[in-house]
């Protein structure tokens, strides 16, 4: 099998191209027109010594590589009409544009316009440097970087197992040189570049280039092209994102050649001035023979399938589309086994749900804390936009107000909501059972069909068992007596679990039991299988994973554990679609994995239930925990010492207890007057209601972005967002304004597939 490979910056030389410019006058004229100068004069004579400058080097090298390919292709066609196309294409950095051009992703002119802008943007970066380290493997280089605290240096080019290029600030490159030489490296050679290419320091260039690339249309590769970023084949839908990511990502040339070798490629032909890559290929194949993988060559039919399909991946590869359960994707009509969970008070609002649905994923409307009229308005808009595309709605268990839960179910039934995310349930409620059983029927062929599907979001086996069991008989009997369900539905309820899906929620933002995914998921998986066997259910109950998913590694772990799908939460709160304040998003964008804490849950304050919230830059966790401590210690506000009461009113609440009670009383009289009756007889309950006021207030001012109340912000989030922030640092997704929920989902699934392919390949090679 044959792979054509194109070199990148560094292979240019004066005189390159020679007679080719006259042999292909139309291409030469087109290049002159786009660039605004004579490409022939630059390459052959370089009168102003510009050829070594990035913004001139890149267009020149792209053009010469393209001309050399045209010459090579013409020669092959004249001698061998049976083997015109290579089996694979690849290019080192800039050379990847030539590979994409040859594969038909874009034409020559489009490629040159892209390269011209790429060179311009990269030439504007200053203050960085690069150095080739020859003779040390990756792990030894990383060790030297770690022990010497070179946190600003990163590996930019994996040219061969023993030739790796470092990139970063010029001062750090200079300091590293004597350290590496003292450690015994063969060569530490500074490169003649003006910036830290292929590193996070190029993020501004990458972001601007990403916007520029949006103007162009790209086709599916007619020949597989291996990406520098992923060391895996390009897909049509990834072209724009990968070209932008390439500017800040390392060139994985070693993995590229190893991948091609695994596919059966034995013939690597370099097309370009000089033979830079040919030497690297030889080194890759000799420096680490134990890592070389073998794989049978694809059949001719498989090659044709690849060339002519825009959606199918290389045979045997894990793709973003085949992660998780195929049955789950088909039943819910999804492109990806990826869901975005609900976030209360409409933070996961209609914008988020619509964006997810249109991208082939599923979002959930966060209805907790919203008025019925607001929920109704958002449901109308979502249904209008998504038509038949799937979406979910949160059904939150109302611990104190079962009537509120009943009204939610009334609304969902009115608008034909066919799928809910049931959260915060400890046991099945009449409202949830009514929703599940309404519309339950048996088809003529004997199949039992549920009109309303339920996903139980949970973290405890006893709660899972309740969702995996049929509806409780006492509740079913009462609903039947009340005429809310039919006798047939009551009878069929014995054959159906309460949930079609259970989602194992590990430690997460918001309500959490702090469970470990590695412990809870296998336990719930076994319980699911046992309950299906016990009751003889006809349909598979799907099991998903949520909590802590903010990077490809965590998503990969979930799928390896056996998740039918993954559900993300915290990472979606810091996106353009999330309906919270820009100030909160600015704060969330800065957090790391250690910047969260646990606090009492305002809606379940008296029970001691916990939520996980933002800790960095706010006092809310400490103040909320103090309130719960006081609630447990005293039986009324009057028993609290005067200094503490003063601090609560002046620092925490910024108003006195009487004002808070008046506001609280007004709120409950319109919704749940029984609470006021209880409070007037029970001082401890009155204290609880006053303290609960703080939780509603702190959440509201955060969503509104009231900067004067920043210290009191209650922001539900978990460590997954910190992990996500670290993963996308230096990329176009670093700024939350560029984060879109659908793009995050697609990117996370894509990188998870790449990671799993790489890890499984490594294991097979051991």
User: Which residues participate in catalysis according to the annotation?
Assistant: 93, 198
Q: How many helices (H) and strands (E) does the chain have?
A: 32, 21
DSSP 198: T
- Contacts within 8 Å (CB) and 24+ apart, 666-673: 671/401, 671/404, 672/400, 672/401, 672/403
Structure tokens that stand for 485 in this block: 């369900």
The answer to whether 457 and 546 are in contact (CB under 8 A) is yes
Task: Round to whole Å and give the CA distance between 286 and 269.
Answer: 18
Closest CA to 120 of 217, 18, 35: 35
Task: Round to whole Å and give the CA distance between 425 and 435.
Answer: 14
Strand order in the sheet with 225-226: 225-226, 88-91, 2-6, 267-270
Which residues does 286 contact at the CB level (< 8 Å), separation at least 6? none
Structure tokens that stand for 96 in this block: 């990847």
Structure tokens that stand for 312 in this block: 């199918």
Task: Round to whole Å and give the CA distance between 566 and 605.
Answer: 30
Structure tokens that stand for 63 in this block: 């053009």
Q: How large is the angle between the packed helices 741-765 and 552-561, nearest 10 degrees? A: 70
Kindly state the helix (H) or strand (E) to which residue 74 belongs, with its residue range. Answer: helix 54-79
**DSSP strands (E only) in 256-315:** 267-270
Characterize the bridge pairing of strands 154-160 and 163-169.
antiparallel
Q: How many residues are given for the chain?
A: 766
In 3-state terms, what secondary structure has residue 330? helix
Q: What are phi and psi of 339, to 5 degrees?
A: -125, 150
Helical ranges in 482-551 per DSSP H? 487-492, 517-535
Q: What are phi and psi of 106, to 5 degrees?
A: -150, 165
In 3-state terms, what secondary structure has residue 513? coil
The answer to whether 456 and 527 are in contact (CB under 8 A) is no
Other C-beta atoms within 10 Å of 99: how many?
Answer: 30
Helical ranges in 309-367 per DSSP H? 326-331, 350-358
Other C-beta atoms within 10 Å of 387: how many?
Answer: 7
Q: What angle do CA 501, 507, 510 make, to 5 degrees?
A: 85
Q: What angle do CA 543, 544, 550 make, to 5 degrees?
A: 165
Task: Round to whole Å and give the CA distance between 321 and 746.
Answer: 9
Other C-beta atoms within 10 Å of 102: how many?
Answer: 27
Which residues does 255 contact at the CB level (< 8 Å), separation at least 6? 158, 231, 758
Structure tokens that stand for 82 in this block: 């049976």
CA torsion 456-458-464-469 (nearest 10°) is -20
Other C-beta atoms within 10 Å of 365: how many?
Answer: 25
DSSP string, 567-587: EE-HHHHTSSSS-S-HHHHHH
């Amino acid at each position: 099998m044959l792979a054509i490979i194109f070199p990148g910056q560094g292979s240019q030389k004066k005189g390159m191209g020679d007679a080719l410019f006259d042999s292909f006058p139309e291409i030469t004229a087109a290049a002159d027109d786009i660039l605004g100068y004579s490409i022939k004069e630059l390459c052959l004579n370089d009168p102003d010594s510009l050829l070594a400058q990035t913004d001139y080097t890149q267009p020149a090298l792209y053009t010469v590589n393209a001309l050399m390919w045209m010459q090579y292709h013409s020669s092959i066609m004249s001698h061998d009409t049976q083997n015109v196309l290579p089996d694979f294409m690849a290019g080192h950095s800039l050379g990847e544009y030539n590979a994409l051009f040859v594969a038909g992703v874009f034409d020559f002119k489009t490629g040159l316009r892209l390269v011209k802008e790429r060179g311009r943007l990269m030439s504007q970066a200053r203050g960085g440097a690069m150095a080739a380290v020859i003779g040390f493997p990756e792990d030894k280089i990383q060790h030297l970087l770690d022990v010497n605290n070179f946190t600003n240096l990163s590996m930019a080019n994996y040219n061969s197992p023993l030739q790796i290029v470092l990139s970063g600030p010029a001062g750090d490159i200079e300091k590293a040189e004597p350290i590496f030489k003292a450690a015994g490296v063969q060569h530490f050679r500074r490169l003649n570049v003006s910036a830290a290419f292929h590193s996070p320091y190029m993020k501004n260039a990458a972001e601007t280039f990403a916007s520029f690339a949006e103007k162009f249309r790209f086709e599916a590769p007619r020949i597989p092209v291996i990406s520098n970023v992923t060391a895996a084949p390009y897909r049509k839908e990834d072209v724009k994102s990968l070209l932008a990511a390439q500017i800040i990502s390392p060139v994985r040339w070693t993995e590229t050649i190893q991948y091609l070798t695994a596919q059966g490629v034995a013939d690597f032909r370099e097309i370009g001035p000089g033979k830079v890559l040919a030497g690297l290929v030889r080194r890759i194949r000799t420096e680490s023979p134990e890592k070389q993988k073998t794989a049978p060559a694809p059949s001719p039919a498989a090659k044709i399938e690849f060339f002519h399909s825009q959606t199918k991946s290389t045979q045997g590869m894990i793709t973003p589309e085949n992660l998780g359960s195929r049955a789950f994707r088909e039943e819910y009509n999804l492109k990806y086994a990826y869901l975005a969970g609900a976030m209360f008070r409409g933070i996961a609002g209609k914008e988020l749900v619509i964006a997810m649905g249109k991208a082939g994923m599923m979002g959930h409307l966060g209805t907790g804390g919203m008025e019925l009229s607001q929920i109704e308005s958002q449901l109308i808009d979502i249904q209008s936009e998504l038509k038949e595309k799937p979406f979910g709605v949160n059904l939150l268990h109302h611990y104190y107000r079962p009537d509120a839960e009943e009204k939610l179910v009334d609304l969902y039934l009115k608008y034909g909501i066919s799928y809910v995310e049931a959260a915060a349930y400890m046991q099945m409620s009449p409202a949830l059972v009514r929703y599940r059983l309404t519309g339950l029927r048996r088809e003529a062929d004997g199949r039992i069909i549920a009109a309303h599907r339920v996903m139980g979001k949970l973290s405890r086996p006893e709660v899972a068992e309740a969702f995996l069991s049929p509806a409780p008989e006492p509740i079913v009997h009462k609903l039947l007596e009340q005429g809310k369900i039919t006798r047939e539905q009551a009878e069929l309820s014995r054959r159906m679990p309460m949930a079609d899906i259970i989602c194992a929620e590990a430690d997460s933002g918001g309500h959490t039991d702090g469970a470990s995914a590695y412990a809870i998921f296998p336990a719930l998986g076994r319980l699911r299988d046992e309950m299906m066997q016990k009751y003889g259910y006809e349909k598979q109950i799907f099991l998903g994973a949520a909590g802590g998913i903010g990077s490809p590694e965590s998503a990969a772990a979930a799928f390896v554990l056996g998740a039918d799908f993954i559900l993300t939460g915290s990472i979606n709160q810091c996106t353009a679609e999330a309906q919270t304040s820009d100030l909160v998003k600015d704060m969330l964008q800065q957090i790391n994995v250690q910047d969260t804490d646990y606090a009492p849950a305002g809606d379940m304050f008296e029970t001691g239930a916990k939520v996980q919230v933002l800790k960095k830059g706010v006092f809310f966790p400490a103040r909320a925990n103090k309130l719960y401590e006081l609630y447990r210690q005293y039986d009324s506000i009057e028993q609290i010492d005067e200094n503490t009461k003063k601090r609560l009113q002046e620092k925490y609440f910024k108003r006195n207890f009487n004002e808070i009670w008046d506001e609280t009383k007004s709120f409950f009289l319109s919704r749940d007057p029984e609470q006021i009756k209880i409070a007037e007889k029970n001082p401890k309950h009155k204290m609880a209601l006053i303290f609960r006021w703080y939780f509603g207030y702190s959440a509201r001012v955060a969503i509104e972005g009231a900067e004067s109340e920043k210290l009191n912000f209650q922001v539900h989030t978990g460590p997954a967002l910190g992990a996500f922030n670290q993963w996308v640092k230096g990329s176009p997704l670093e700024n939350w304004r560029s984060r879109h929920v659908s793009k995050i989902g697609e990117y996370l699934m894509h990188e998870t597939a790449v990671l799993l392919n790489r890890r499984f390949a490594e294991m097979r090679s051991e």
